[in-house]
Structure 1
Amino acid sequence: MDKLTFEHIQTIGNVVNENELYKHYHYPEMLIRYDSNFIEFKRMPTISELLATEDFLIKYHKQYNQHHVKFVFPDNQKPDPEIMQYFAANKYDVGFLELYAIQPKSFPQISHRLDIEVSEVTDANLSEFLKLQYELDSEHGEKFAKEKVKLNKQQFEDESVMQVLAYYKGAPAGTMNVIVSEDFVEIDNLSVVDSLQRKGIGSRLQRFVMDQFPNETIILVAEGDDTPREMYQKQNYQYSGFQYEAIKIEK
């Protein structure tokens, strides 16, 4: 098994350009999805290299009427102060992700409440999954939510992706994607309806994965300044590294 890095996290998008400095991802099927349209640096750039890359990406995105610029930096490296100062002066949002892994036997036992049910998405409940996912995605705008429907349908047909739906008292309450690769099983896009937070739905979704893949290493990504990362730590996930990213969205 390979050492866990952010390279093992699925990226939805095509590498349209690659050189010694970076990989350029582009996804014409969903131009509004920032996580599919960005540049990932293979080594930390100098400020002059960053500016040249920024100029290239702005011009490239303008061809497709895209209004954002996003950069992802190498694992476990924080951009130099000069770069961070440039981002601050030019209204970039800068943050970092954290990578976690767990062996299913280490995940805590939880009570199986009768009012929570979890199941894999099939033809029978696909429409319920799509409807709830649309509602959850609407937080990022109606256009994003509408375009995401097509991606969700594509993933339903993808044998490497298991879509999961949680119910609370019989009503759809949470969703999750499970991405199966040769070495890892990735939990992605775990979401619970806001009004149903703190009822154990997220834990039951994770427990479903642990039971389905008891002999695999389960991995996921959390935002470095978000509350869920604290939950994952309490659930015995092991920290495996961080990755900085920066994004600027033109209004």
Structure 2
Amino acid sequence: MRRIDYDTEQYQDYARGRALTERQQQTWISAFGAVLPKGRPLVGLDVGAGTGRFTPALARAFGPVTGVEPSVRMREIAQAQSPHPDVRYLAGSAEDMPVPSASADYALMFLSWHHVQAKPRAVRELARVLRPGGRLLLRANFSDHHPRPWWLEHFPRGFAADAALFQPLHEVIEMFTSDGWRVTAFGTVTEPSVGTLGDMLQRLRLRTLSFFAQLSTDELEAGFRRLEEAVAANPAAPAPVFAEPLLTLERR
């Protein structure tokens, strides 16, 4: 995949393009709570926190959270738009987190795993920062367990180009289990609709998904032209929902 520099692209529109409704956020918080250790409060890490769309909600639900994010611009927006007394945002990445060893009960990586450059190193670093029995919540897409959003069909190479961003599930599991982790859960979460087809189109126009960075200018223009035509036929129709994978791993 083409690596995205969030300090020069996407950061201006990311918070709007990837915002969650209250119902969507609560759906995810409930799903996370079902697979996290039972005690409260929990110390959490939001790895690849971006603009902090989950970080304060995690703090409200479970306890203090550190958002780890490599992009200066994204951290600035998170600090300005997503503050919380039990949240701090630090420069870092999945491969190099500025937190003590065995200091967290869980880590969330929400659609950030495919951005990790040195994945084996990240597996070890995640094990370092979690306490024994700590959980990693990996909301990732997998090339063989792909949600296939409805709008992808309108773009040239849509499904193939998007799936190419991600590893197959078995490869991710093998990477972790060969380093001493164990799988505790794998399932899907159906996120409530963002609204209408027209609402979804407005978000997609902001191009804050990694998929869009993989297409040529001609492919983007052709895809958005087809998408605009399709949505124009019934812009008030509810946007379809789909099941999104959530893999939970435990540090032994």
Structure 1 or 2: more strand by fraction = 1
Same fold (TM over 0.5): no
The structure with the largest alpha-carbon Rg is 1
Higher relative contact order (CA 8 A, sep 6+): 1
TM-score (norm: length of structure 1)? 0.30
